[in-house]
């Protein structure tokens, strides 16, 4: 990742935001789109499978799927604060020994990251400029299922993205948001031998589960 985006991630996804998200998660559970992806995975069956959650944030995907029967999880996240908060929450929930954490840019770390039965990127593709590398390398590591939540390339995000990026620029944060074309993301995933099994669109996001 270019160092500006890394710096931006550390500034934006900081401890304060992570703690706020964790409190919300404890009160209300995972977000709607995370729940949709978890539901689609559970419908396929997750018992005993392994999970690689890229950009896992506070770890909601991992916490929920470990409780649902996943055997082990790995959370790779570029934000130091989110990794720390996710790790603390795993210990609190009593499954700390079944989760491993790696801080950094997944694309750079990819050669040392093992494949998993399930690979998820929940609202992460929009944080990264090189979609082909992020999606291609992560899909390659999914031995059974590949789940993604990413922005729809509809008019809402076409309007929202420049506004969000202007706000980030005004607040001197080098982080930028990206809306990659759906057809391009889908083509990269299919190139890795995966086919869609579930799709649900909300006004802003698309939730897609692929399988081998
Ligand atoms: C919008 S948050 C989503 C967090 C969580 N998946 C969720 O849905 O609540 C995006 C997360 O992806 C991480 N991230 C972005 N690009 C990344 C990359 N290239 N490698 C690893 N983590 C990344 C950020 O640090 C951040 O924690």
**What is the Cβ-side half-sphere exposure of residue 116, based on CA atoms within 13 angstroms?**
28
Question: What CATH number is given to the structural domain containing 79?
Answer: 3.40.50.150
Q: Label residues 4-26 b or e (16+ Cβ within 10 Å = b).
A: ebbebbebebeeebbeebbeebe
What is the value of pTM for the model shown?
0.95
The finding on whether 77 has its CB within 6 A of some atom of ligand 1 is: yes
Residue 182 contacts residue 153 (beta carbons within 8 Å): yes
195 CA distance to ligand 1 centroid (A)? 24
137-162 tens-digit pLDDT: 999 999 999 999 999 988 888 888 98
49 CA distance to ligand 1 centroid (A)? 22
Among the residue ranges 3-7, 48-52, 80-84, 176-180, the one predicted with the least confidence is 3-7
Residue written as token pair 């790995």: 74
The finding on whether 127 has its CB within 6 A of some atom of ligand 1 is: yes
| Residue 47 in this model has a pLDDT that exceeds 80 | yes
Query: pLDDT > 90: what percent of the chain?
Result: 83
Task: Looking at the CA of residue 33, tell me the nearest atom of ligand 1.
Answer: 8
Cβ neighbourhood burial of 91 (10 Å; 0-12, 13-18, 19+): exposed
pLDDT value of position 178: 92
The finding on whether 9 has its CB within 6 A of some atom of ligand 1 is: yes
CA nearest neighbour of 165 among 178, 152, 146: 178
| Residue 3 in this model has a pLDDT that exceeds 80 | no
Tell how strand 50-54 and strand 72-77 pair up. Answer: parallel
180 CA distance to ligand 1 centroid (A)? 16
Choosing from 103, 124, 136 the residue with most ligand 1 atoms within 8 A of its CB, the one to mutate for a pocket test is 124
**Ligand 1 atom 16 nearest Cα:** 127
65-106 tens-digit pLDDT: 999 999 999 999 999 999 999 999 999 999 999 999 999 999
Of 71 and 3, which is predicted with more confidence?
A: 71
Domain that holds residue 126: 3-211
123 CA distance to ligand 1 centroid (A)? 7
For residue 30, the tally of other CB atoms under 10 A from its CB is 18
Average pLDDT over the chain reads 94
Domain count of the chain? 1
């Amino acid at each position: 990742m270019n160092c500006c985006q890394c710096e931006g991630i550390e500034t934006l996804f900081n401890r304060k935001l992570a703690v706020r998200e964790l409190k919300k998660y404890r009160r209300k559970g995972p977000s709607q789109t995370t729940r949709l992806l978890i539901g689609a995975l559970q419908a396929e069956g997750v018992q005993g499978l392994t999970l690689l959650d890229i950009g896992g944030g506070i770890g909601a995907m991992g916490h929920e799927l470990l409780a649902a029967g996943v055997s082990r999880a790995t959370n790779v996240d570029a934000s130091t604060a989110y990794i720390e908060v996710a790790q603390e929450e795993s210990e609190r929930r009593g499954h700390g020994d079944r989760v491993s954490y790696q801080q950094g840019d997944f694309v750079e770390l990819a050669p040392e990251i093992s494949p998993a039965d399930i690979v998820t990127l929940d609202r992460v593709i929009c944080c990264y400029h090189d979609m082909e590398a992020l999606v291609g390398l992560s899909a390659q590591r999914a031995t059974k299922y590949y789940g993604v939540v990413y922005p729809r390339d509809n008019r809402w995000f076409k309007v929202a993205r420049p506004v969000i990026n202007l706000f980030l620029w005004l607040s001197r944060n080098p982080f930028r948001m990206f809306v990659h074309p759906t057809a391009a993301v889908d083509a990269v995933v299919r190139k890795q031998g995966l086919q869609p099994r579930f799709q649900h669109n909300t006004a802003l996001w698309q939730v897609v589960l692929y399988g081998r």
